[in-house]
Structure 1
Amino acid sequence: MKLLKVDEVERVQEKIWNIVNNWNLNTEIINISEASGRILAHDIITKEDIPGFTRSTVDGYAVFSKDTAAAGDSIPVFLKNIGVIEMGQASDLEIISGQCVEISTGGMLPKGANGVVMVEYTENFGEDGVAVSSSISEGENVVYPNEDVSKGQLILRKGSKLLPQSIGVLSALGITEIKVYKPLSLTIISTGDEIVSPEKPLELGKVRDINSLALKALAEKNGYSVIDIFVLKDDEDLLRETVKKAMEKSDLVAVSGGSSQGKKDITAKVLDNISSPGVFTHGMAIKPGKPTIVAYDENSKTLLIGLPGHPVSAMLVFDILFNKMIKKLMEVEEELEIPAKVTTNLASSPGKTTCWPVKLLKDKGGYLAKPIFGKSGLITSLLGADGYFSVNRNHEGLEKGDEVWVKLF
């Protein structure tokens, strides 16, 4: 049996980047109502101050703060109410010492006022009198112009993933259309005589296809659009024709299964034959995921990927290589990783980057990382894992209590 000639993970990433770094990503203009989860393709710089006026953050009375200095529960301060300011109304009212104005949350502060006493600390008396039983400092319960956002301020950077709070900020700025990156197109092909589609009955000796939909969910979360999914038998001609058709409309084609050196592992041969310059990696120094294949076709500008058939291996390799690639292309910041302490001693594989799926457990203000022990083909290895951490190829292993950084799935 021919042995794989493995590349280090960093070397494979470098080879991929050398190919794709000059790709011109397509963009499109969309309404912010459709933008959640998309990647911003330009900087957002404000053209106005937010808010554009001094406003109250509470219901109460706008006052001159020094008038409340002596106010208390037993001896309130008495002020004269000269009017009412509702939310959403411009006001030309102006107060002097000894006066106040009733104001709603979001209301425009009258001239002369520099703070708002919450309504809970006031009591009306007579026709226009207000008893104030709590003192406030200057600026209390108010927001000044441009305190939230200043004109010319960079609010969202190119490469930002648009979250619900991002959409809210854009709405506040009056920005309703934005430019985002179009997803890279991906075709997923699962191979194996033992594989059947999830909706089909399971015969003895068969297993349902896990990888296609798991990879689809992982890819779409990170900026890909999965345009086709195929489940194929181990047939060289069928695989060749399916990949060739997929190359016509896909930026990436991922084939799971058939990537090692077994009798029916035909993926490397097929990918190399139908692409030019062809396969540039067949074997990666990672556990799990060693029999990884990467090829490139210059004519169609398509990356071809041979992923291990085991679900955990396939997801880890796709994340480490191709989710990392698309984030770098779109200038997306790496997602935060969670610091956690391992719950047991762990051995590593010398010369290989070792990835451990883990379950995160809360512990005294932090987290514990509980490794999911199991073979990379077991479904439970996926189900129980919140994420994974990597052990460097030159590291001898970990001891219980060592800190690791967990990347969430």
Structure 2
Amino acid sequence: MRLLKVDKIEEARCKLLEAAGEKVPDTECTGFMESCGRILAQDIPAAENVPGFRKSTVDGYAVMAKNTQGVTDSIPVFLEVVGEVLMGQSPGIDIRDGQAVYVPTGGMLPDGADAVVMIEYVEKFDENSIAVYDSVSPGRNVILEGEDLADGDVFLKKGTVLRPQEIGLMPSAGISEVPVFMPWSISVISTGDEIVAAGQEMKKGQTRDINTYSLSAAAEKHGFRITEKTAVKDGRESVREAIRKAMSSSDVVLVSGGSSQGEKDFTAEVMDELSDGGVFTHGIAIKPGKPTIIGYDSKSSTILAGLPGHPVAALMIFELFIAWLYRKLTGQKEPVKTAARMTENIASAGGKATCILLELREGEDGIYDAIPVLGRSGIMTTMTRADGYTVTGTDAEGLREGEIVAVTLF
């Protein structure tokens, strides 16, 4: 096969989406308490009004607002106290002209009342009456029924990654179960005779396995389920067998190493043979990450991705393509970006988009300073020092000191 016919980022994404665009994850229903971190598979409407009744936002007295007009701290109005609202109970009392009912914060307003006077502006006159020293308008210190959510209102959108705040809102809206996307299963395969697993003795010339662990962690961060993570020695048949086996149980197979044009780099050929759609991208105009391989097998519905062996490049390509596709197909938002000002000039690679790792520090005018984290793509500590990254255009010459850039946060 022909190697390294370079695609731009958008060209490679379009090819990936065209090939695997129907690979929307299956869905399942789960209890709301088990849904934290999951991705909503459809819009969720409220099953009831929130709140389900008019409630007070303060401790005080429910009144008719008209009875307090003209009141000042020196000219009070005297109202008859006809009862007290207990938390969690219906008042069972109607307010009439000239009357008031004590109501605690969160308590239900009795019929006839349209405002609440804070207890700080009330003085007991005798056992059955109070003096009110505040003029309130209708609706003061009151939350109306359905003011937060009305029955049938969509309050959670498809693609929402559920957080504790959404978990707390669901039961208040009468929701006990939600449809969520089932996570893609993913296998991570690192290749190379030099790779040594964590905890094993290492000899001169060997390298600790980084990609198996960092890529697995990145996949889990994005909600994938790890089917297998393994390292295999260089060898066409051993790599082929590892990929073939992984395809039978995975939605995505990642292979790090063996993606360029070296003598032992046959990953693209193997993926091309194993997939009915073949490899459609081998080479992307990006630094780091140029020798990236992407293919798709429609029979097993498996995305195949050959990532560079350098750890930084492998993680960046995973973020920009595999995680991007997953977000796209599940309706998620793109990662948050923040504006920052470059602290120095940085050249970009000619004819390639360039991923520039950045450390952010608080600037004097409220805009972050973006400090480039320099280092080769094989040096993992550059990623640990960076808060995010920005990507230059393919034809850009670089970034200038003082230039404002959009930083995607890790």
Same fold (TM over 0.5): yes
2:127 counterpart of 1:115: no
Counterpart position of 1:53: 53
User: What SS does the corresponding residue of 2:408 show, helix, strand or coil?
Assistant: strand
Rounded to whole Å, the distance in 1 between the matches of 2:217 and 2:97 is 63
Counterpart position of 2:380: 379
Deviates further, 171-180 or 154-163: 154-163
User: What SS does the corresponding residue of 1:188 show, helix, strand or coil?
Assistant: strand
Counterpart position of 1:22: 22
Rounded to whole Å, the distance in 2 between the matches of 1:75 and 1:344 is 67
Q: Identical aligned pairs, as a percentage?
A: 47
Q: Which amino acid aligns with 1:315?
A: L
Deviates further, 155-164 or 373-382: 155-164
Rounded to whole Å, the distance in 2 between the matches of 1:58 and 1:207 is 64
Q: Equivalences for 1:170-249 in 2 at 5 Å?
A: 170-249=170-249
Rounded to whole Å, the distance in 2 between the matches of 1:122 and 1:402 is 59
Q: Which amino acid aligns with 1:408?
A: L
Question: How has the CA–CA distance of structure 1 residues 67 and 301 changed in structure 2, closer, same or farther, with 3 Å as cutoff?
Answer: same
Once the two structures are TM-superposed, the CA of residue 174 in structure 1 deviates from its matched residue by: 1.6
Counterpart position of 1:346: 346
Deviates further, 123-132 or 183-192: 123-132
Rounded to whole Å, the distance in 2 between the matches of 1:171 and 1:319 is 34
Rounded to whole Å, the distance in 2 between the matches of 1:57 and 1:297 is 58
Once the two structures are TM-superposed, the CA of residue 105 in structure 1 deviates from its matched residue by: 1.6
Once the two structures are TM-superposed, the CA of residue 54 in structure 1 deviates from its matched residue by: 1.0
Counterpart position of 1:394: 395
Asked if 2 retains the 8 angstrom alpha-carbon contact of 1:189 and 1:255, the reply is yes
Deviates further, 172-181 or 88-97: 88-97
Once the two structures are TM-superposed, the CA of residue 188 in structure 1 deviates from its matched residue by: 0.3
CA RMSD of aligned residues (A): 1.9
1:163-215 superposed Cα distances (whole Å, 9 cap, x missing partner): 22221221111211111111111100112222222233444333322222222
Rounded to whole Å, the distance in 1 between the matches of 2:352 and 2:320 is 14
Counterpart position of 1:323: 323
Asked if 1 retains the 8 angstrom alpha-carbon contact of 2:24 and 2:329, the reply is no
Rounded to whole Å, the distance in 2 between the matches of 1:132 and 1:217 is 62
Rounded to whole Å, the distance in 2 between the matches of 1:285 and 1:261 is 16
Asked if 1 retains the 8 angstrom alpha-carbon contact of 2:47 and 2:175, the reply is no
Question: How has the CA–CA distance of structure 1 residues 137 and 365 changed in structure 2, closer, same or farther, with 3 Å as cutoff?
Answer: farther
Rounded to whole Å, the distance in 1 between the matches of 2:362 and 2:137 is 41
Rounded to whole Å, the distance in 2 between the matches of 1:201 and 1:119 is 72
Q: Which amino acid aligns with 2:394?
A: R
1:79-120 superposed Cα distances (whole Å, 9 cap, x missing partner): 332111022111231223432211112111112221112223
Counterpart position of 1:134: 134
Question: How has the CA–CA distance of structure 1 residues 135 and 208 changed in structure 2, closer, same or farther, with 3 Å as cutoff?
Answer: farther
User: What SS does the corresponding residue of 2:241 show, helix, strand or coil?
Assistant: helix
Rounded to whole Å, the distance in 1 between the matches of 2:123 and 2:382 is 63
Deviates further, 356-365 or 179-188: 356-365
Question: How has the CA–CA distance of structure 1 residues 3 and 270 changed in structure 2, closer, same or farther, with 3 Å as cutoff?
Answer: closer
Rounded to whole Å, the distance in 1 between the matches of 2:199 and 2:343 is 38
Counterpart position of 1:9: 9
User: What SS does the corresponding residue of 2:179 show, helix, strand or coil?
Assistant: strand
Counterpart position of 1:336: 336
1:147-167 superposed Cα distances (whole Å, 9 cap, x missing partner): 111122121222222122221
Count of residue correspondences: 408
Rounded to whole Å, the distance in 1 between the matches of 2:208 and 2:135 is 69
Q: Which amino acid aligns with 1:209?
A: D
Rounded to whole Å, the distance in 2 between the matches of 1:123 and 1:365 is 48
Question: How has the CA–CA distance of structure 1 residues 388 and 110 changed in structure 2, closer, same or farther, with 3 Å as cutoff?
Answer: same
Asked if 2 retains the 8 angstrom alpha-carbon contact of 1:311 and 1:382, the reply is no
2:291 counterpart of 1:291: yes
Once the two structures are TM-superposed, the CA of residue 365 in structure 1 deviates from its matched residue by: 2.6
Rounded to whole Å, the distance in 1 between the matches of 2:197 and 2:122 is 69
Q: Which amino acid aligns with 1:352?
A: K
Asked if 1 retains the 8 angstrom alpha-carbon contact of 2:95 and 2:111, the reply is yes
Rounded to whole Å, the distance in 1 between the matches of 2:161 and 2:372 is 30
Structure 2: gaps spanning 5 or more residues:
none
Asked if 2 retains the 8 angstrom alpha-carbon contact of 1:223 and 1:326, the reply is no
TM-score by length of 1: 0.94
TM-score by length of 2: 0.94
Rounded to whole Å, the distance in 1 between the matches of 2:391 and 2:243 is 32
1:306-331 superposed Cα distances (whole Å, 9 cap, x missing partner): 10111211111111111111111112
Q: Which amino acid aligns with 2:275?
A: S
Asked if 2 retains the 8 angstrom alpha-carbon contact of 1:292 and 1:308, the reply is yes
Deviates further, 24-33 or 61-70: 61-70
Question: How has the CA–CA distance of structure 1 residues 122 and 215 changed in structure 2, closer, same or farther, with 3 Å as cutoff?
Answer: farther
Question: How has the CA–CA distance of structure 1 residues 120 and 234 changed in structure 2, closer, same or farther, with 3 Å as cutoff?
Answer: farther
Rounded to whole Å, the distance in 2 between the matches of 1:58 and 1:210 is 56
Asked if 2 retains the 8 angstrom alpha-carbon contact of 1:50 and 1:150, the reply is yes
Counterpart position of 1:403: 404
Asked if 1 retains the 8 angstrom alpha-carbon contact of 2:288 and 2:313, the reply is yes
Deviates further, 112-121 or 30-39: 112-121
Once the two structures are TM-superposed, the CA of residue 73 in structure 1 deviates from its matched residue by: 4.5
1:324-374 superposed Cα distances (whole Å, 9 cap, x missing partner): 111111122223311222221121122111111111222233322222111
User: What SS does the corresponding residue of 2:323 show, helix, strand or coil?
Assistant: helix
Asked if 2 retains the 8 angstrom alpha-carbon contact of 1:48 and 1:152, the reply is yes
Question: How has the CA–CA distance of structure 1 residues 137 and 213 changed in structure 2, closer, same or farther, with 3 Å as cutoff?
Answer: farther
Asked if 1 retains the 8 angstrom alpha-carbon contact of 2:48 and 2:174, the reply is no
